[in-house]
Amino acid sequence: MTEIPKTHPRYESLRVRELLVEGVEYGITSKAGLIAHGRGEAFDYLIGEKTIEPARLAERAALAALFSARNPVISVNGNVVALVPEETVKLAERSDAKIEVNLFHRTEERMHRISSRLEEYGGENILGLQPDAEIPGLDHARGLCSEEGIYSSDVVLVPLEDGDRAQALSKMGKTVVTVDLNPLSRTSRTADITIVDNITRAFSNMRELEPLGGSFDNDKNLSKVLDFMSNRLSELSEKGLQKR
């Protein structure tokens, strides 16, 4: 791993990029995953690379949904496991959720590497390796899942997910929770609870935050995110960008 000096002004962002590059080298993350991360980073700039209030609210609502679920499942892919393997295992323990590996570019080797990485962090009974069910409406490879996990889940946390799959899960009647820095993505607009935050912050916040039950209006919360972004851009534009 390239040594990044801690004094570098973009240390955190570079550190996270290195995790993904390492993920590709270990056969955990796909090359396309690097591009997806870049898209996320661009939106992170717009919120100032910190957890904003609507994100914190969604994180608390997500915890409440997971805690009250009958069969909560956290669906992970190569980006999630490269970035937050330990936090994923801890969140699963905290919410009594199962972890299932579900890949856009499914290969048996990546499935195994991802699941072993989670096991290194204490993950147990990782699902998805022997799929025995299919999500309706997706083509065969992308729809594969496990009966006891995603297929029969009532609440499914699908961070960094593709819009098609989020929509297919929603059509199955599941409560879909996502983490996605792009408030305009199809996934963000499909989910019941969208956390617009970097997964590195979201999952670490969710180890500590208190759940907040009751009604959660995702459209309204996404509007707040868009308002935050546009107000921030207006303020920056008024102040001038020179001093940043």
Q: What does the binding site for ligand ATP look like in residue numbers (CB under 6 A)? A: 36-37, 39-40, 43, 79, 83, 160, 162-163, 179-182, 185-187, 198-199
Q: Which does 87 bind (CB under 5 to 8 A by kind): ligand ATP, Mg ion, none?
A: none
> Minimum distance from CB of 148 to ligand ATP (Å)?
26
Q: Quick check: 41 binds Mg ion (CB under 5 A)?
A: no
- Kindly give, in sequence order, each residue whose CB lies less than 8 Å from that of residue 53, ignoring residues fewer than 6 positions away: 224, 228
Question: What are the structure tokens assigned to 212, written together?
Answer: 């907040």
Q: Which does 199 bind (CB under 5 to 8 A by kind): ligand ATP, Mg ion, none?
A: ligand ATP
Question: Which residue of this chain has its Cβ atom nearest to Mg ion in the complex?
Answer: 162
Cβ 71 to Mg ion shortest distance, Å: 26
Question: What residues does 194 pair with on adjacent strands?
Answer: 178
Question: Quick one: what does residue 50 bind among Mg ion, ligand ATP, none, with the CB cut-off 5 to 8 Å set by partner type?
Answer: none
Query: Minimal distance in Å, beta carbon 124 to ligand ATP?
Result: 25
| Whole-angstrom distance, CA of residue 131 vs CA of residue 72 | 18
Contacts (CB under 5 A) with Mg ion, residues 162-191:
162-163
Would you state the structure tokens that stand for residue 165, as one six-digit string?
Answer: 């799959």
Q: How far is the CB of 195 from ligand ATP (least distance, A)?
A: 8
Nearer to Mg ion, 49 or 162 (CB): 162
Q: Which residues of 193-224 are buried (b: 16+ CB within 10 A; e: fewer)?
A: bbbbbbbbbbbbbbeebebeeeebebeebbeb
Query: Between the CA of residue 177 and those of 63, 116, 129, 204, 238, what are the distances in Å?
Result: 10, 25, 22, 16, 36
DSSP readout, 25-64?
Answer: HTTSS-HHHHHHHHHHHHHHHHTTSS--HHHHHHHHHHHH
CA distance 239 to 73: 45
Query: Which listed option, Mg ion, ligand ATP, none, makes contact with residue 60 (CB within 5 to 8 Å by class)?
Result: none
Q: How far is the CB of 169 from Mg ion (least distance, A)?
A: 14
Q: Shortest approach of ligand ATP to residue 31 CB, angstroms?
A: 12
- Which of 89/239 has CB closer to ligand ATP? 89
| Residues within the interface to Mg ion (CB under 5 A) | 162-163
